[in-house]
Chain A
């Protein structure tokens, strides 16, 4: 958060609560690259969670009841 605040001047409350996490991470990645750091993707997307979530989808028939 400090890096983002330093580079952009955005207030802490905006970074904490309004800036989407994915955008904060993307900007952090840019800042890391700009400072010469090497980065790698850490892991595949959380597919297990997504599959668990998709089982919760409610059928339209059930909603109509």
Chain B
């Protein structure tokens, strides 16, 4: 097998992330949408300001580690409510976990980016290529 195939096989066999006993759900389509909704610095460009990656890592840990119902409620509340919930959750996390959480973010984003594809129109599939009587 090639290195890339080995790497992909390893990804399939990767156990669920639980840094320091904290069970993290995987970066999924739903959690990615939540990261966007909460304007997380890892997935939303922050403009001129230098993004606060530490806060972004803690938000990531909250979205993937707190009970899903609580996360959904907080993400649909005002931004200050969401930040307060993240802060309360982060208070329970040892600082030493930050590195493992960042590794999880790295793995999730990199693996997803590697699998992302755009669809190319096939020749003749455009409406303009259709017969005039169609």
Contacts and interface: CB of A to CB of B under 8 A. Distances in A.
Interface of A: 1, 15-26, 29, 32, 36-43, 45-46, 49-50, 52-53, 55-58, 63
Contacts of A52: 51, 53
Contacts of A32: 117, 119
B120 interface: yes
A29 to B, nearest CB: 5
Given A18-B26, A20-B27, A40 B120 contact: yes
Interface residues of B, number: 38
A50 B14 CA distance: 20
B111 interface: yes
A21 B108 contact: yes
Interface string B99-131: 100100110111111111111111000000000
Contact of B54 (A38, A40, A50, A56): A56
B95 interface: yes
B47 interface: no
A38 B113 CA distance: 18
25 contacts: A1-B29, A15-B28, A16-B30, A17-B68, A18-B25, A19-B29, A20-B26, A21-B28, A25-B112, A25-B116, A29-B115, A37-B119, A38-B120, A38-B122, A39-B120, A40-B120, A41-B116, A45-B110, A50-B109, A50-B110, A53-B106, A56-B98, A57-B99, A58-B96, A63-B95
Contact of B110 (A1, A23, A46, A56): A46
